[in-house]
Amino acid sequence: MMPNRFTDTLFQLIKSLEKAEKRHFKLYIKRSSGNEDLKIVELFDAMDKLPEYDEALLLKKLKSIQKPQLSNIKVHLYKQLLASLRLLKSHDSIDLQLNEQFDYAHILYKKGLFSQSLKILDKAKEMAKANHKMNFLVGAIALEKRIETLHITRDMQTRAEDLSAEINEVTQRISSVSRLSNLAMLLYSWFIKNGHARNEQDEANVKAYLRTHLPADAFEQTGFYENLYLYQSLCWYAFIRQDFLMYYRYAQKWVDIFDAEPLMIRVETGHYIKGLHTLLNAHFDLRNYKRFEDTLTKFEKFAQADRVRLHDNFRTQAFVYIYNAKINWHNMTGTFAAGVKLVPQLLEKMEENMLFIDEHRIMVFNYKIASMYFGNGDFDTCIDYLQKIINENTEVRSDLQSYSRLMHLMAHYELGNYDLMEYLSKSVYRFMSKKENLTIIEEEIFKFLRKTFHLDRSKVQAELVKFLDRIKGLEKNRHETRAFAYLDIISWVEGKVYRKTMGEILQEKYRASRHSGK
């Protein structure tokens, strides 16, 4: 993992700013000429020039700010930056626009201008309904009810009945969305911690969890957010269980609801990007080569839209997922030599966006890069990337930690480091056993490596044929093929049996799929 240089929250915020945002802040702050505002500009400029946060160096650069003042001025600068960003970004966010309208309505209410307040609330509610923003409606209707009790009109009785029915409907929808979003989040969290189901008990637990928490009427809902979180929940559920056909089906539905309602792509851009990423993963798992290419083309085109390019979060999210897809493409088509050429560019972009990339994404990239170097026969570099995962002290993705160690063992096997094999095989076996990541396929891998690392090379070929036959027999057993989701062990062994590179084996499979029209 790359070092985290962004330890101060104000420094993080300043370093995340685009040129236009910095320029807007300077214009915004000039409206105030108070001494405190001049100090925050001085602090802003000094922090903006620092490559990493160093308070001692910062104080040396500040002429008008003493150490006892620094903490308060930093707080003031942080608030002013957020206020500036709020003004600049309000046109770009439905949530900010709605909150602004609610603030205006509340101000008018406080002044006793009830009719004006109600007009603003009516327009804001229309916008909220058009964009499926049910949570906003709760506060808006509550303010309407307060106004109606003070501002008596001729249709008071009708208004009271309408507002009562409206709040009941909104509350029911929010409850449904909340339950489904909680389910999606908890299932995704389970995967981030554990990876795919390790055994039948894991799968039984996940099935029971879904049955317990899935609302009885989940499939009868027609609202956008209800369907979004339902499809997300079923995606994670299927992915955990390695039911890749179900995973694909609901990933496609996830993207389809956005395509059916394009307005929501702008409202929930992050969820749309994640949906495209999930659909690409599903195509990868099913080796849907043509659909993978089509979806990646669609994703890359969308990533060039202003909505993505001009938004830090969306731009970084798109970069991470598109590069993930490109690496997956090289890993599944066997074009490893072309894939490793992407690595310098990827690392450069990761460094540029380090502020926005979490440890899980870095771990996934390191694993996928290691897989490409393994396939390309560069086992030393493969080991370098695997060490980044193995040496990381984290509770995230115990599955990747396990399979990183297994690939690390296989790379040493390829390098002929047989003096290390006995110790490493025992160490990796203990680790995977402790993490409950051992199924029959992993046991077979360990048996083969232990049996052949000290065997005469002339006798290894016969063992490879036997090994391939055993693992091919497990290929259709979902409970025993967890390893295939992490490591294409079959293509690796086929390469050795047929005396071809792993890349050549995968390219043959890709060409065969093109002839079949897949």
76 and 100 fall within a common domain: no
Q: Has residue 37 got a pLDDT over 90?
A: no
pLDDT classification of 153: cutoffs 50, 70, 90: low
DSSP 356: G
Find, among 427, 423, 419, 469, the residue nearest to 444 by Cα: 469
480 and 358 fall within a common domain: yes
Looking at 40, 73, 91, the residue that finishes a domain is 91
- Top pLDDT among 305 and 201 is at 305
87 and 104 fall within a common domain: no
Out of 117-121, 169-173, 412-416, which region has the weakest mean confidence (pLDDT)? Answer: 169-173
109 and 54 fall within a common domain: no
pLDDT classification of 156: cutoffs 50, 70, 90: low
Domain containing 79 equals: 9-91
441 and 393 fall within a common domain: yes
Tokens of 350: 């990761």
Residue 327 domain-assigned? no
Residue 51 domain-assigned? yes
Q: How far apart, in whole angstroms, are the C-alpha atoms of residue 514 and residue 518?
A: 6
Tokens of 492: 């690796």
Q: How far apart, in whole angstroms, are the C-alpha atoms of residue 51 and residue 15?
A: 9
pLDDT classification of 296: cutoffs 50, 70, 90: very high
Q: Has residue 3 got a pLDDT over 60?
A: no
Q: How far apart, in whole angstroms, are the C-alpha atoms of residue 281 and residue 298?
A: 14
Tokens of 357: 């990339």
Over residues 369-384, mean pLDDT: 95
363 and 465 fall within a common domain: yes
Residue 304 domain-assigned? no
Find, among 285, 280, 279, the residue nearest to 242 by Cα: 285
Q: What predicted TM-score, i.e. pTM, was given to this entire model? A: 0.80
- Provide, rounded to the nearest whole percent, the portion of the chain with pLDDT above 90: 46
First to last CA, the chain: 37
Residue type, 40: I
Tell whether the torsion through CA atoms of 279, 281, 286 and 287 is positive or negative. Answer: positive
Q: Has residue 448 got a pLDDT over 80?
A: yes
Q: Count Cα atoms within 13 angstroms, Cβ side, for 369.
A: 24
Q: Has residue 70 got a pLDDT over 80?
A: yes
pLDDT of 335: 95
Residue 405 domain-assigned? yes
Find, among 184, 199, 190, 294, the residue nearest to 234 by Cα: 184
Residue 388 domain-assigned? yes
Residue type, 235: C
Q: Has residue 436 got a pLDDT over 80?
A: no
**CATH code of the domain containing 418:** 1.25.40
- Provide, rounded to the nearest whole percent, the portion of the chain with pLDDT above 70: 94
pLDDT classification of 405: cutoffs 50, 70, 90: very high
Tens of pLDDT, residue by residue over 212-245, are 888 888 888 788 999 999 999 999 999 999 899 9
Q: Helix count (H) and strand count (E) of the chain?
A: 27, 0
Q: Has residue 380 got a pLDDT over 90?
A: yes
Q: Which residues, other chains included, contact 80 with Cβ-Cβ below 8 Å and sequence gap of 6+?
A: 25, 28, 29, 37, 40
**What is 299-350 written as a DSSP string?**
HHHHHTSHHHHT-HHHHHHHHHHHHHHHHHHHHHHT-HHHHHTTHHHHHHHH
Tokens of 258: 């956005």
342 and 441 fall within a common domain: yes
Over residues 414-419, mean pLDDT: 88
Q: Which residues, other chains included, contact 314 with Cβ-Cβ below 8 Å and sequence gap of 6+?
A: 269, 270, 273, 307, 308
Over residues 473-490, mean pLDDT: 75
Q: Does residue 435 sit in helix, strand or coil? A: coil
Residue 278 domain-assigned? no
Residue 203 domain-assigned? no
Mean pLDDT, all residues of the chain = 87
Over residues 208-213, mean pLDDT: 88
Q: Has residue 476 got a pLDDT over 60?
A: yes
Residue 286 domain-assigned? no
73 and 97 fall within a common domain: no
pLDDT classification of 458: cutoffs 50, 70, 90: confident
425 and 516 fall within a common domain: yes
16 and 114 fall within a common domain: no
pLDDT of 172: 86
pLDDT classification of 2: cutoffs 50, 70, 90: very low
Looking at 153, 169, 204, the residue that finishes a domain is 153
CA–CA distances in Å: residue 146 to residues 133, 154, 196: 21, 16, 51
Out of 63-72, 119-128, 265-274, 280-289, which region has the weakest mean confidence (pLDDT)? Answer: 63-72
Over residues 354-371, mean pLDDT: 87
Q: Count Cα atoms within 13 angstroms, Cβ side, for 435.
A: 25
How many C-beta atoms surround the C-beta of residue 434 within 10 A? 11
Domain count, the chain: 3
122 and 51 fall within a common domain: no
∠ at Cα 106 (102, 111), nearest 5°? 150
Looking at 40, 62, 91, the residue that finishes a domain is 91
41 and 142 fall within a common domain: no
